[in-house]
Amino acid sequence: MTSNTRNRSTSSGDSSAGLEQPCRVVVALGGNAITRPGDDGSVGQDYVNLTQSLDSVIYLVERGYQVVLTHGNGPQVGNQMIRVELARGQAPDLPLDLVVADLQGGLGYMIERVLRNRLLSRGLEQPVCALLSLVEVNKDDPAFENPTKFVGPFFQETEVAALEEKRGWIMRKDTGRGWRRVVPSPDPIAVVERNLISTLINSGALVIVTGGGGIPVARSEDGQLEGVEAVIDKDLASAIIAREIGAEELYILTAVEQVVLNYGTDMERPLSSLSVAEARDHMAAGQFPAGSMGPKIEAACRFVEHGGRRALITDILTLEQALQGTTGTWIHP
C-alpha cells in the first residue's frame, strides 16, 4: 500500500496525539448528508444540509489530512426516476447508468461549490475537484440474476403486472411502503479512473469521486466498457477506492454515532471498537442487516483486510468527537 504520512500537530484530546498521523483518508458521506428524512428534498434544503455536513471535511483539511470524498445519492435517484416516469411519452427514457452519471455530476457540483466557499471563508487554499467516476463490475456477477436493490418511486400492487410486462422490470414489495423496482447491486471490482484520481490527490486536490457508488460499467469480451442497469453500494465502492489510492483510513459517515448490537431491542449495546474477526462473527449471527448496517461493516472489513490501518463508522456530525475517542466505532485488524 502506498505510504503517504507526515507529522502534524494534534490536540491533546486526539486519541492518537503525538504520533505520526494518517494524511490520506477516504470519507464516505451517507445520503443524509444531502437529503435528510422528512426534508422536502428541495435544492435549497440540500445546500443547507451540505453546509452543515461538510464541517467534518473542513475539520480534516485544517488538520492536514489529505481527503478523498465519496457520497451517496439514494434519495436523489428516487426523485430522478420519478421525473423519468412523469416524462414518459414526452422525453426519452434514461438508462440507470446515465441516471447515476447525471446525479454524480449534479451532486458533485453542489458539494464542490459548498466546499470551495467554506474553505475560502476559512482562509484555506485547497483545490477541489469533482470527477465523474466509472466503477467496474463483473458482467457475470450473481447479483444480476438476483436483483435486490430498491430504486425509484412506489407503485400500487395493481400496477405491478403491467410494469413487469411492458418495461421488463422486476418488482418487489418494499415492506410497509408499497411495490418498487429492484435492480442488481453487483460487487465493485475497480475504479476506472483510479490512476487519474491518484494524480489529482498527489497534486494537492481534494477529490470528490464515486458518487452514488459510481457509474456502473462492465467489460465486454473485447474489453470495451458498457453501461449496466445496476446500482453499486457506495460504501463498498468507497472501500475499493480507498484501497486503490493507498488511503490509511476509511471514515464511513452515516446517521448513527456508533454501531450497536441487538439494535432496536432492550439489549442494545454500543460498540467503540471491533476487530475484523469480531465484526464478521456478528455479521454471521445476523446482527447487521443487509439493508442498513451490513454493507458498512462489510466495507470496513474489506478495507482493513486489504491493508488499511483502520476504519471508522460514526454520525456525519460527530466525526471530530470520534477522532478524539469519545464516540464512533473503529474496525481494526
For the chain (333 residues), the mean pLDDT of every run of 10, in chain order, is 39 38 84 76 89 93 95 84 87 92 95 96 94 97 90 87 89 82 93 96 95 96 94 96 96 94 90 96 91 90 96 95 95 96
CATH fold, domain 24-135+188-216+229-332, is: Carbamate kinase (3.40.1160)
Here the cell at position 91 is 422525453
Active site residue 32: yes
Is 149 noted as a catalytic residue in this protein? yes
Task: Respond yes or no: is residue 296 known to be catalytic.
Answer: yes
Catalytic residue selected from 108, 214, 296, 328: 296
Number of H helices, E strands in the chain: 10, 17
Among 30, 152, 234, 328, the active-site one is: 234
CA 330 → CA 123, 199, 258, 278, 300, distances in Å?
32, 29, 9, 12, 9
Active site residue 234: yes
Which pTM does this prediction carry? 0.88
One of 30, 49, 149, 214 is an active-site residue; which one? 149
d(CA 173, CA 154): 9
State the Cα–Cα distance between residues 168 and 162, nearest whole angstrom: 9
Residues whose CB falls within 8 Å of the CB of residue 36, separated by 6 or more in sequence, listed in order: 49
Single out the residue of 168, 216, 165 nearest to residue 190, CA to CA.
216
For the chain, what are the domain ranges? 24-135+188-216+229-332
For the chain, the helix, strand and coil percentages under 3-state DSSP, each to the nearest 5:
40, 25, 35
What is the H or E stretch that residue 130 is in?
strand 128-130
